[in-house]
Amino acid sequence: MFNSDQISADSIVTGNCTKDIVDPLLQQVVDIVGAAVSDLGQLVGQPVATILATVDGTAQAAVGDVAQLLAKVLTLVVNALGALLKVLGGNLSLVGDVLSAVGDILCQLVQAVVKLVDGLLDALLPLVGGLVGTLTSLGLNTLGGVLGLVL
């Protein structure tokens, strides 16, 4: 399970940036986001009021709120991957397979939420436009395409 103490802004540096260190951390991202995608799949076919209901059921989230939340998740993960890319000196060969898995699961996350919430992509696009450069550097073109960004 994810332990926030394992990842910090300076926990991966050139001296310890090995496949044995990085792969398990990125796999945690895949596992955590994958569980969220699975949970979202259980909402398919539910009424919009159920999908957008707050945890206590007393209110309903707006599409913009959902877009903000998803944008924060995407920004956090993509910026962390961008920082990793800098530590790697731009050489993605060390993390290619698991980086691809992270990109795939983020695509699945976006697709799952867009499927559930009408108008989400339009609300999300302006919030994630700043990720274009990092997505391009990481080679996450499919994610950029799912988001409707021009890479």
- C-alpha dist (Å) from residue 122 to 32, 46, 75: 25, 22, 17
Which residue has tokens 């569980």? 35
Per-residue pLDDT for 26 more than 80? yes
Confidence of residue 3 (pLDDT cuts 50, 70, 90): very low
Considering only residues 5 and 84, tell me which one the structure prediction assigns the higher pLDDT. 84
Per-residue pLDDT for 121 more than 60? yes
Which SS3 state, helix, strand or coil, does residue 24 take? helix
Considering only residues 18 and 109, tell me which one the structure prediction assigns the higher pLDDT. 109
Question: How does pLDDT run across 82-94, given as a tens digit for each residue?
Answer: 988 888 888 888 8
Which SS3 state, helix, strand or coil, does residue 60 take? strand
Question: How does pLDDT run across 30-71, given as a tens digit for each residue?
Answer: 999 999 999 999 998 898 888 888 888 888 889 999 999 999
Cα dihedral 18, 24, 25, 28, rounded to 10, equals 170
- Specify the pLDDT at position 10: 52
Confidence of residue 151 (pLDDT cuts 50, 70, 90): low
Confidence of residue 6 (pLDDT cuts 50, 70, 90): very low
